[in-house]
């Protein structure tokens, strides 16, 4: 593995900007309550361009008079560092991060007045950085009234910078792929351990705690998103995160949980029986979802699209719903009326990377579907959801919720399933459920 070349990424972005300045703030701490904060999470676009993980930083890319990367970071402060952690400071940041200039973030308002001048265009996050955007816009307004020459003019045209970076993030490089493969080692172990630990009388909480332990114990750095540990009817709540119900004999357990490394996510769902053995009806529904998932993955080739993958998935699931006597009529009719959506209300996949729902374009600038190319990574996650409360369903199906989710890398020759090692066939799952969870603790 080589160090990621953040400088090259910044240069690539700068080369797409003419007469433009880009301002990309990092994230700041978010208050949880009173004087406690949520764990710090860096802004993904900022992280992608700098690799820097400290709060309250701002990256500025200029093209006039010179192409430059300028980074504003927190000042060194021994007193604050004693209370809340080390800071790199501008001098070390200049040495380590390969930017052209660094300053303390306190200097930003003063410096940006100078840096804006001579640029026709300003690129920023126009929607989710209201404070910094308002500050920069007000500075532009003040400068606009004083302009006399190009060199004393601020930008008059404001553009949203995010799509430019998110387009760059679509195709993953070897390091990014390796981060996700490494995170997948812990994700695999945690899903296997969960299968082994689950039993009637245990609690979703215990499964959650064990998975969290395995997500942080080795190379991974925690969960990429809130774990979903959903037993029985809880699986029919798509974003169930309470994770505190007792596991019941005869129920299924749906787990949607993935570890992350260097903010690169894995996003994996497996569904298995709490007592280790699928019932006939559970197995019947499971096999439909599994067939839909395998069909979906079989369309993972260069040139295909997520929309095509979704359409193929919906056809298999709809046929399954007809076979289960949940839907009447033909596949075409049920696709046409979208009747299947009552039981399969979400999409089949999303891009995956620095964000679990990676912010990469789903369409081109011409509003065409983004085609798969070598190095894109996405999820394939069909499911069927039969809530207990739905009296229109055959009774034996009520309370079953199943999803199966893998992470797929497109390659020159087809694809690589990054989560292929996590049990998915019924036989494999039942074998994994029969293991002793203690073997995963070491």
Beta carbons of 46 and 57 less than 8 angstroms apart = yes
Enzyme catalytic residues: 35, 239, 256, 267, 346, 350, 357, 381, 385, 403, 405
d(CA 21, CA 51): 20
Q: Does 256 bind Mn ion (CB under 5 A)?
A: yes
d(CA 84, CA 321): 55
- CA-based radius of gyration for the chain: 25
Longest dimension (CA), the chain: 80
Q: Does 379 bind Mn ion (CB under 5 A)?
A: yes
User: 63 or 234, CB closer to ligand GLY?
Assistant: 234
User: 233 or 256, CB closer to Mn ion?
Assistant: 256
User: 206 or 355, CB closer to Mn ion?
Assistant: 355
Torsion sign across C-alpha atoms 330, 336, 337, 340: positive
Residues with Cβ < 8 Å from 193, sequence gap 6 or more? Answer: 210, 211, 214, 437, 440, 441
Per partner kind, with CB cut-offs from 5 to 8 A, the member of Mn ion, ligand GLY, none near residue 225 is: ligand GLY
CB atoms within 10 A of CB 331: 18
Beta carbons of 292 and 319 less than 8 angstroms apart = no
d(CA 229, CA 244): 8
Of the candidates 97, 102, 100, 99, the one whose C-alpha atom is nearest the C-alpha of residue 3 is 97
Draw the binding track, 197-236, toward Mn ion (x: CB under 5 A; -: no contact). ----------------------------------------
Residue 143 C-beta: closest distance to Mn ion, Å? 45
Per partner kind, with CB cut-offs from 5 to 8 A, the member of ligand GLY, Mn ion, none near residue 60 is: none
User: 117 or 177, CB closer to Mn ion?
Assistant: 177
Residue 310 C-beta: closest distance to Mn ion, Å? 13
Residue 403 C-beta: closest distance to ligand GLY, Å? 8
User: 49 or 380, CB closer to ligand GLY?
Assistant: 380
Contact residue for Mn ion among 204, 206, 267, 406 (CB under 5 A): 267
Residue 379 C-beta: closest distance to Mn ion, Å? 4
Per partner kind, with CB cut-offs from 5 to 8 A, the member of Mn ion, ligand GLY, none near residue 204 is: none
Helices of type H across 51-107 = 78-84, 89-96
Chain residues in the site for ligand GLY (CB under 6 A): 225, 256, 267, 350, 356, 381, 405
Instruction: List residues binding Mn ion (CB under 5 A).
Output: 256, 267, 379, 405
């Amino acid at each position: 593995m080589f160090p990621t070349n953040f400088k090259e990424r910044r240069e690539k972005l700068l080369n797409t900007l003419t007469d433009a300045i880009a301002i990309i703030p990092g994230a700041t701490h978010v208050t949880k309550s009173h004087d406690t904060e949520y764990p710090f999470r860096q802004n993904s676009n900022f992280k992608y361009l700098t690799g820097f993980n400290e709060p309250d930083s701002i990256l500025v890319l200029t093209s006039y008079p010179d192409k430059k990367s300028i980074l504003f970071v927190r000042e060194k402060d021994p007193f604050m560092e004693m209370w809340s952690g080390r800071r790199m400071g501008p001098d070390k940041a200049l040495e380590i991060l390969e930017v052209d200039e660094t300053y303390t973030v306190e200097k930003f308002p003063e410096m940006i007045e100078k840096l804006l001048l001579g640029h026709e265009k300003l690129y920023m996050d126009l929607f989710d950085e209201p404070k910094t955007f308002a500050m920069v816009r007000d500075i532009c307004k003040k400068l606009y009234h004083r302009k006399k020459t190009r060199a004393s003019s601020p930008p008059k045209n404001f553009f949203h910078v995010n799509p430019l970076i998110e387009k760059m993030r679509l195709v993953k490089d070897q390091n990014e792929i390796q981060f996700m493969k490494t995170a997948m080692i812990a994700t695999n172990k945690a899903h296997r351990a969960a299968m082994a630990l689950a039993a009637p009388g245990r609690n979703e909480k215990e499964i959650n705690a064990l998975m969290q332990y395995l997500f942080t114990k080795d190379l991974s750095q925690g969960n990429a998103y809130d774990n979903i540990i959903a037993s029985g009817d809880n699986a029919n709540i798509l974003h169930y995160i309470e994770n505190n119900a007792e596991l019941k004999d005869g129920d299924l357990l749906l787990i949607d949980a993935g570890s992350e490394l260097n903010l690169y996510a894995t996003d994996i769902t497996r569904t298995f029986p709490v007592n280790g053995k699928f019932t006939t009806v559970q197995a019947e529904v499971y096999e439909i979802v599994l067939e839909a998932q395998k069909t979906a993955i079989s369309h993972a080739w260069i040139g295909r699209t997520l929309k095509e993958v979704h359409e193929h998935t919906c056809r298999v699931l709809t046929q399954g719903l007809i076979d289960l006597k949940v839907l009447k009529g033909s596949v075409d009719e049920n696709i046409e009326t979208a009747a299947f959506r009552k039981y399969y209300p979400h999409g089949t996949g999303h891009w995956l990377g620095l964000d679990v729902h990676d912010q990469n374009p789903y369409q081109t600038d011409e509003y065409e579907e983004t085609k798969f190319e070598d190095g894109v990574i996405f999820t394939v996650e069909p499911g069927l959801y039969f809530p207990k409360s739905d009296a229109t369903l055959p009774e034996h199906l009520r309370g079953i919720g199943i999803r199966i989710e893998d992470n797929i890398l497109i390659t020159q020759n087809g694809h690589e399933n990054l989560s292929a090692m996590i049990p998915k066939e019924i036989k494999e799952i039942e074998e994994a459920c029969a293991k002793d969870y203690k073997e995963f603790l070491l």
